[in-house]
Structure 1
Amino acid sequence: MMDEKPFDKPVTLELGRIGDFRRIGSTREAVECLVTVWPLNRGARHRDAVETCLKALDGHRSSEDARRALIEAAMESDVLAPQRTRH
C-alpha cells in the first residue's frame, strides 16, 4: 500500500451542497476527491492536480506540490472553502 503522503495543513473544500465541507489531509485523499467527487466544471488545473498528486504518491513530487495543485484546482472550480471555515 502506498504512503498517504500527508499535508502539513489540510485543505478544506465545499463540495456538493453549500455548507458541505470536506477536509483533505493527504495526497491520497486529494486524488480520491479529484477523481470521484469533483464537480463537472473541471479544467486544466484539475488535470494538473490529478497528475501532480499521482506523481507525489509515486515519490516523484512532494506532498506540498500536491497540496498546492489541489488548491489551484479548487480555486479554478470554485470549491475552495471560504477562509473562515478552513480551521
Structure 2
Amino acid sequence: MRTELDTKQFAEPVLVRLSSGIVSIGSVQEASDLLASVEWPGPRDELHANALETCLKVLDGHRSTGDARARLVDAALAAGIYSDAVR
C-alpha cells in the first residue's frame, strides 16, 4: 500500500482533456492511474507504454518525477489530450 508521500508529486501539474473535462494530473501516481485506466483516450502505443513504464519506475524509486512528467506530456500530446489551459 502506498502512502501519500509515495505518490511523487510533480513540480507542476499536467493538464489533460478527458471526456469529463480538463483534469489536473499532479503526481506520478495519478499519471500511472490514468495511463493504466480505460479512460486513456489515446492509442496504447510506444509513447504510452514508455510513459507508463517510466511512472512505475519512479514509484519504485528508479527514475525522477521530471522524467515521468515529460513522458506523460509526450503521450498526452500524441493522444491529442494535452491542455495548456490556465488552471
Q: What's the TM-score, normalizing by structure 2? A: 0.88
Q: State the one-letter code of the partner of 1:35.
A: A
Kindly provide the CA deviation profile for residues 23-76 of structure 1, in whole angstroms up to 9, marking residues without a partner as x: 000000000011112015222100000000000000000011000000000011
The alignment-based identity, stated in percent, is: 42
Structure 2 counterparts to residues 43-82 of structure 1, below 5 A: 43-81=45-83
Q: State the one-letter code of the partner of 2:16.
A: L
Gaps of 5+ in 2: none
Q: Is the 8 A contact 2:42 2:78 kept in 1?
A: no
Matched, 1:38 2:40: yes
Kindly report structure 1 stretches of 4+ aligned residues shifted beyond 2 Å.
none
What RMSD, in angstroms, separates the aligned Cα atoms of the two structures? Answer: 1.3
SS in 2 for 1:46: helix
Q: State the one-letter code of the partner of 1:55.
A: K
**Aligned partners of 2:78 and 2:42: how far apart in 1?**
12
Gaps of 5+ in 1: none
Q: Is the 8 A contact 1:42 1:77 kept in 2?
A: no
The residue number in structure 2 matching 1:25 is 26
Q: State the one-letter code of the partner of 1:46.
A: H
Number of aligned residue pairs: 83
